[in-house]
Chain A
Amino acid sequence: MDTPPLRPIRPAHRLRVLDDGQLADLRAATLTILDEVGVHCPSPEIRARYAAHGARVDAETGIVRLSPDLVLAAMARAPRGYTMGARSAAHDAVLDGTAMYTATDGCGVTMIDPATRRRRPSVAADVGDMARVADALPAVGFYWPMLSAGDHRATAPLHELLASYANTVKHVQTETVMGAPMARWAVEMARVVAGDEATMRARPMLSALICTIAPLAQDAEGMEGAMVLARAGVPVGFMSMATTGSTAPATIAGTLALGDAEIVAALALVQLEVPGAPVFHSLMTGVMDPRSGGYLATSRDGALAYTAGIEIAHHWGVPVLAGVYGTDAPAPGWQSAAEAAVALTVGALLGAETGSGMGLLDGCTVCYPEQLVLDADLHERVRANLAALDTSPEAIALDVIRRVGPRAHFLYEPHTRDGMRRLEFSALTGQVAADGSARDAVDVARAEVDRILATHHPDPLDPAQSRELERIVAAADADLGAATAAAGGRS
């Protein structure tokens, strides 16, 4: 079945939330942190690469310090834009600064079963089902495997990729592939999907997000995996989730500077190792609840902290993955819409190239399938609101207004018939039940999920590609599963 064309947000307007002086101050702070405080790098292999490029490495503490000159020179090599390829070229996400593509959220661990409506641990089939839902929604620009393939233990990330590629033609971004061995298997899969090396480089169909560890630390497996992916041409982004008050200073500016330093330390090494490699920057801060110590993705001023990271990324000259949908709501409802709307609007106005977070609730852990449809509706609202207003003579319709005149109506006009067809109404609100009452939007979204799961089957992988991907995953199961078993645990 055809996958509808993507409908990214193409804002006709732009906003600035930080002025040039503030951006300069934040960059200076980042450079100072990297030069004087440094980041902790637990991987000897990665430390060696840092040292080879001129960073100051303290082997005893594992701290790596980078001079401002080294950082600036490295970051200058990063491309400002590139293409995140899709199985169907028509669904490529072209990061050229004109559009914002939004993705699903990822790596949830609990699924609300669409059939039973009961909570259960997520499995690989859920990743595939939600990929089909995402494939059917024009608002979803690319796909994060939404859930953890909990039925596949050590190689879950590869099974998540397999389920994703089999069920959507859109670009897939992994946020769970970690470590060099896993990354090598993922690269093999990406090469199979791309078909040839030239396509893999020009339109990579896989990208990866690696998280840093606040404050100012890297994950050994994350960094080792990132280098494998970057060398293969897979776009790699780094996300800091610095949390105001616990893993970051209790001020937004301090949190931004610290998180930026974590991201830039990693991005700089990618550029030093693979000059010109496609990368992205993602500063998705949180705030600690001072009463409980809990992590909050959102607060009243959360949109400001979320969106400031977009301008910081652009100041470095790299594309951004903006946090735009994160919600702490436990279930679909008022809160899930309230928390997402402002950040998405401001993010788009700031020119974010990509954003993620659609479809998960409860701090990005629980998947209510209908939430993806609800979030897609929010995307459409923001898209429509930020588009340019058509003020052409046809749109102003003076001849029609003149013909109708005062105190009449426009119902009979051909212009009305044409115009009404072009107007965009929500498919979720204003829906009328058989008894004439208004249907609840969440119920409508749930029915839409059922409809998609029953009827939408995107263009399948070529059978040869499919067999090859399955062979790769089976080999990885044997390799990494055995390795994990030998190590006496699960990853």
Chain B
Amino acid sequence: MHGTSDTTGGTVGAPTFSPTPPLEPIVSTRRVRFLDDEQLDRLQDAALHILETVGVRFPNARSLEILGDHGCAVDPATQVVRFPRDLVRRAVGLAPRTFTMAARNPAFDLALREGTSYFTTDGCGVAAIDPDTGLERPSRKEDVARMARIADALPSIGFMWPTVSAQDFGQTAQLHEIDAAANNTVKHVQSMVQGEAIARYAVEMATVLAGSREALRERPMLSNLVCSIAPLAQDHAGLEAALVLAESGIPVGFMSMPTLGTTAPATSAGALAMGDAEAISGIVLLQLAYPGTPVFHSILKAWADPRTGTYVGYSIDGRARYAPVEIAHHWGLPSLAGCFGTDSAAPGTWQSAAEVAIDPILGAMAGAEIVTGMGLDRTYTLLYPEAILLDDDLYQRARHALLAERVDDETLALDVIAAVGPGGHFLAEEHTRTFMRTALKRGLTHEMAGHGHYRDPVEVARERAARIRAGHHPEPLPDAVRDELARILAAAGRELG
């Protein structure tokens, strides 16, 4: 593949492009119900109780108006909104259980369904280890573009979160992140856009990508995640963006991030109930404003270190992975599960694997439709080039552990066992030659180094990341689309600075 990088991080003058390998989601026929119906009812009842009696702060006039018009109790002085139970149930009932997160190449559309888990890159870090210098620096748009190309090359990545912030583009960083992602992967892009003005530009970009307003509604190639502010508050800019995006049919998810001990009770159930109330309050707003608009639900709980008060993404007890998924499904909503994003300061350490290795299997066994987020260290903030390859290897281990086993005459191979008999070996058997080609799923850990030894998996990851960076250039956007995105960015830059 030949081509040169332009300022958008895209490629120009490229005569060919690299094929994007088919997706490999985790399809979990092996499901586990972690919470029983009684527990789920109790948690949901608690969330309803919180919404009804405590309320959620909505620091946004339009949101207050919508909620008030539909029967919520709005306190204008505190901006706290209390939600009648019936209204919550009715509004959540309007949300679709499934929808499609479309991709530039329809072969990579994600038709969300329970039991098939599509994972994404992590986001939105603020620092990057420069792949050329090896030094840490503030993240840039070029990092997003590079990660989009790596995400495009990995079958484990179903859709793309801009992994880091395009801090070299100031107020319009979020739009440049979308641009870098859209130019460098054919997969669905999920942004974290905030503010009405930015959101309107994002809608314009998504419309250009889709081809028309109607096509955007039909097959949205952009979705968006909005974070609430624990405890029990929404974010003004997040609400503005959510309303603008939902109006255009762009799927919007609400993620709460309750921290046990500081912004949430120091018990998991309390943090989950409160986080659920936050996420549901945002979803209710969107369903009341735009009934039937696609939404998703997410709770990413964390812990306060009791010694320092610092944010801990991973305690010993990580039941955060599955409980929010089942809570979302109990509401009849698709779930964005929170996985990966180690607290380790660097990739390739014992900690970076120990903390996250069981995440994907727990999230997938719970049946999450979409799952965060591979590729960042230092609690979602720092991008190392090789981190996503290491996380990808952990993902593939989990995926294989949940694959259906084939038990039939050919795989039982009784005739071969009889032919070899006790004390023999299977090396000379045709059956062995046939099946050995696929018997060993070689990950990062089994690259030969010679003399019967294997290479350091971290080194292999680093090398693979560099190889993808050098050689994988996905199908570029049509010139007209790319140019139109650039025009939108320029206009946004002029308006917003």
Contacts and interface: CB of A to CB of B under 8 A. Distances in A.
Contact of B436 (A250, A338, A430): A250
Contacts of B350: 332-334, 336-337, 374, 441-442
Contact of B267 (A254, A419, A430): A419
A423 B317 contact: yes
A162 interface: no
Interface stretch (A11-19, A318-326, A457-465): A11-19
A438 interface: yes
B285 interface: no
B306 interface: yes
B463 to A, nearest CB: 15
B403 interface: yes
Given A405-B231, A411-B262, A419-B267, A296 B357 contact: no
B43 A328 contact: no
Contacts of A425: 303, 305-306, 312, 315-316
Interface in A156-178: none
B269 A396 contact: yes
Among A37, A301, A380, A382, the most chain B Cβ lie within 10 Å of the Cβ of: A301
A216 B350 CA distance: 38
Given A342-B397, A385-B318, A423-B260, A402 B53 contact: yes
B420 interface: yes
A376 B140 CA distance: 40
B237 interface: no
B86 to A, nearest CB: 19
B107 interface: no
A398 B412 contact: no
Contact of B42 (A217, A328, A340, A396): A396
A257 interface: yes
Contacts of B323: 389
Interface in A412-452: 413, 415-426, 428-430, 432, 438, 440-442
Interface stretch (B66-74, B358-366, B466-474): B358-366
A401 B56 contact: no
B439 A415 contact: no
A349 to B, nearest CB: 7
Contacts of B408: 25, 253
Contacts of A248: 426
Given A16-B30, A215-B426, A250-B431, A257 B265 contact: no
B441 A420 contact: no
B352 interface: yes
A245 B53 contact: no
Given A389-B39, A419-B266, A430-B343, A398 B46 contact: yes
B494 interface: no
A32 interface: yes
Contacts of B46: 396, 398
A290 B317 contact: no
B486 interface: no
Contacts, number: 390
Interface residues of B, number: 116
Among A18, A36, A291, A420, the most chain B Cβ lie within 10 Å of the Cβ of: A420
Interface residues of A, number: 120
Given A250-B426, A333-B349, A416 B316 contact: no
B343 A429 contact: yes
Among A33, A338, A417, the most chain B Cβ lie within 10 Å of the Cβ of: A338
A249 B358 contact: no
Interface of A: 12-18, 21-22, 25-26, 29, 32-33, 36-40, 63, 213, 215-217, 244-254, 257-258, 287-292, 294, 296, 298-301, 303-304, 307-308, 328-329, 332-343, 345-346, 349, 374, 377-378, 380-382, 384-385, 387, 389-392, 394-398, 400-402, 404-411, 413, 415-426, 428-430, 432, 438, 440-442
11 contacts: A17-B30, A37-B418, A251-B413, A289-B448, A291-B448, A300-B393, A300-B400, A340-B357, A395-B270, A396-B42, A406-B54
Interface of B: 30, 32-35, 39, 42-43, 46, 49-50, 53-57, 78, 80, 229, 231-233, 260-270, 273-274, 303-308, 312, 314-319, 321, 323, 343-345, 347-355, 357-358, 361-362, 365, 390, 393-394, 396-398, 400-401, 403, 405-408, 410-414, 416-418, 420-427, 429, 431-437, 439-443, 445-446, 448, 452, 454, 457-458
The 7 closest A-B pairs by CB, nearest first: A419-B266, A341-B357, A300-B441, A40-B422, A250-B435, A337-B353, A384-B317
